[in-house]
């Protein structure tokens, strides 16, 4: 009976606690609870549940960190200055993505690549996951760096709330339990950042290889032309650079090769037309 009463009291307190928590805090709370249970199960005969509980706790803490980022993004976007700042960042990221894609394509064919506009756009789209990962790490680091001042700001705001003259200046909707949440964030942010940094570090070389092979295949299949005005051997395709210059794309078992060459026209000059043109151009005596 006592155990049932204690369990009921715990559930009631837990329900009251959750009512005072915002979305991010609820993710943090359940992530910490599952992490504690995972540690308990690791020491008991139920250690098989440990891995599932640990991964679930990590997922919940990740959701909490993402929720914090989205909340900050929403607050910045609601202001005109913040909206302009975000749009400038978008424009800068887009310009950087196109610049990097041009260099990437040029590195693949090792020749002038200004004509490969479709391939450049294709590579720019494939760079989006890398930009998302890089931006996430930067935001994580900034939040972790400036989050050290969160407790001081929260304490100061609580003290300044009663002053009527500062209403509208001091934020009134500060989350409940800021000090406890701060210490949870202090552990969660580096843990989540380190975990995904390890995943990204292992996956990055494979993704770059995938980008390179996909770009070569895209150039050969969609950018290079099977029927060209230049003489081509069987299986070769041409990428026009200028009137006299082409890049020959070749496919073999190990991948693709790209070789710049001078264009050898398929059409032979018409001798009769050339003679008629020479006669017409000759001066009349």
Same-domain status, 213 and 128: yes
Check whether residue 156 and residue 88 sit in a common domain: yes
131 and 186: one domain?
A: yes
Tell whether 149 and 247 lie within a shared domain.
Answer: no
Answer yes or no: is 200 within a domain. Answer: yes
Same domain, 91 and 105: yes
- Do 209 and 247 lie in one domain? The reply is no
Q: How many domains does the chain have?
A: 2
Which pLDDT score, from 0 to 100, does residue 164 have? 57
- Give percent of the chain with pLDDT exceeding 70: 79
List alpha helices for 147-260, DSSP H.
150-160, 178-218
Weakly modelled stretches of the chain, pLDDT under 50 = 166, 169, 285
Residues 6+ apart with CB under 8 A from 174: 154, 157, 158
Tell me the whole-structure pTM to 2 decimals.
0.74
**Domain region containing 171:** 79-222
Tell me the average pLDDT of the chain. Answer: 81
Degrees, nearest 5: CA angle 243-244-247: 100
């Amino acid at each position: 009976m006592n155990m049932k009463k204690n369990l009921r009291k715990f559930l009631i307190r837990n329900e009251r606690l959750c009512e005072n928590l915002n979305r991010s805090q609820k993710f943090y709370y359940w992530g910490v609870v599952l992490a504690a249970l995972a540690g308990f199960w690791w020491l008991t005969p139920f250690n098989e549940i440990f891995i599932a509980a640990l991964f679930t706790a990590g997922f919940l803490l990740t959701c909490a960190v993402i929720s914090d980022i989205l909340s900050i993004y929403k607050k910045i976007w609601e202001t005109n200055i913040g909206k302009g700042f975000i749009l400038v960042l978008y424009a800068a990221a887009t310009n950087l993505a196109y610049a990097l894609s041009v260099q990437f394509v040029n590195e693949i064919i090792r020749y002038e690549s200004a004509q490969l506009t479709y391939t450049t756009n294709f590579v720019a789209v494939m760079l989006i996951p890398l930009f998302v990962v890089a931006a996430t790490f930067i935001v994580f680091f900034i939040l972790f760096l400036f989050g050290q001042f969160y407790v001081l700001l929260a304490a100061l705001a609580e003290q300044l709330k009663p002053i009527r003259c500062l209403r509208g200046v001091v934020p009134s909707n500060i989350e409940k339990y800021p000090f406890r949440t701060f210490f949870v964030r202090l552990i969660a942010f580096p843990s989540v950042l380190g975990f995904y940094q390890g995943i990204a570090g292992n996956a990055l070389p494979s993704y770059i290889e995938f980008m390179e092979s996909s770009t070569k295949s895209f150039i050969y299949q969609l950018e290079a032309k099977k029927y060209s005005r230049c003489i081509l051997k069987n299986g070769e395709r041409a990428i026009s650079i200028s009137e006299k210059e082409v890049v020959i794309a070749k496919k073999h078992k190990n991948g693709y090769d790209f070789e710049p060459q001078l264009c050898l026209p398929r059409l032979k000059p018409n001798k009769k037309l050339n003679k008629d043109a020479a006669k017409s151009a000759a001066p009349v005596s």
